[in-house]
Structure 1
C-alpha cells in the first residue's frame, strides 16, 4: 500500500474514536502512526492519566525533548517545516498546550481530539520529524 493510502486509511480509522490517555491521546496517537507507517514503535514512556503525562513531560524538559529522545531510537530525523510531507510528525504550540500533529502537507495536519481528529494549520510548529 502506498504511504498516502496508508495515511488516509489511518486518518479515517480514527475519525470517531475516543482519545485514551497513554494509548491514543494527542501524543500517543502520532506515535501510533509512526508505528503503522514504519513498523517502529516509538519508545515513549508509559502513562495512563493527564497528570502522569504532564509529570513525564516536565521531567523530560518538555514535549519536544521527550519526543526527541524517543525518536532518536528510531530512523526518524528532524527537518524544517518547509520540508514537511505527508505523514511526517511534529509538535505544535497550541494556545493551551503543545500537541502532536501528523502532517498532511505544509498547509495542514491532523491532531487527536477528545473524540475523533481535528484538522489544523501548522501555524506554530515546535519541531517536525520525517519518518
Structure 2
C-alpha cells in the first residue's frame, strides 16, 4: 500500500484528532480509528462495512465471525492485503496489534515510540511501542 507524500503531516493531524476521543463500539473504536488512518494515509477505503455494524464487544466479535475472520489480526491482514510483520520492524505510520486485557486484542497506529489506541476507558491515548505484539506495514 502506498502512502501519500504528506503522510507525516497527516499523521500529526490524525493523532491530534484522535487523542482523547471517547471510545464507542462501531463508531470510534480501534478498528474505526485504524480504518480512518488507512484512508487518510493512502486514500484507500478498506472497511466501509465496519462502521455502525456493531455496538458492543460481543457485536464486534460477531462481526469478525460473520465475515469469516478468526480474530482482529485476521481482518487487518485481509483488509490491508499484507501479512503481519514482527513488532521489531514496526515504523511510524504502521498498524500495530496490541494486547488489550479488556478486549483480548486491539489495533493502533504507530506514532514513533508510541502507539495511538482507543482505550475502552481512556479513549484515544498513547501507549509504549513495546506493547505491540505484531503489526502491518502501511
Task: Report the TM-score when normalising by structure 2.
Answer: 0.77
In 2: Cα distance, 1:103 partner to 1:3 partner: 13
Cα RMSD after superposing both structures: 2.2
Per-residue deviation, 1:45? 4.3
- Misfit runs of 4+, over 6 Å: none
Aligned residue among 47, 60, 80 for 1:43 = 47
Contact 1:78-1:127 at 8 Å conserved across structures: yes
Aligned residue among 49, 57, 80 for 1:71 = 80
Aligned residue among 53, 74, 84 for 2:90 = 84
Per-residue deviation, 1:33? 0.5
Give structure 1 stretches of 5+ with no counterpart: none
Task: Report the TM-score when normalising by structure 1.
Answer: 0.81
Per-residue deviation, 1:83? 1.9
1:61 aligns to 2:70 (yes or no)? yes
Give structure 2 stretches of 5+ with no counterpart: none
Count of residues paired in the alignment = 127
2:115 is matched with which residue? Answer: 109
Contact 1:60-1:66 at 8 Å conserved across structures: yes
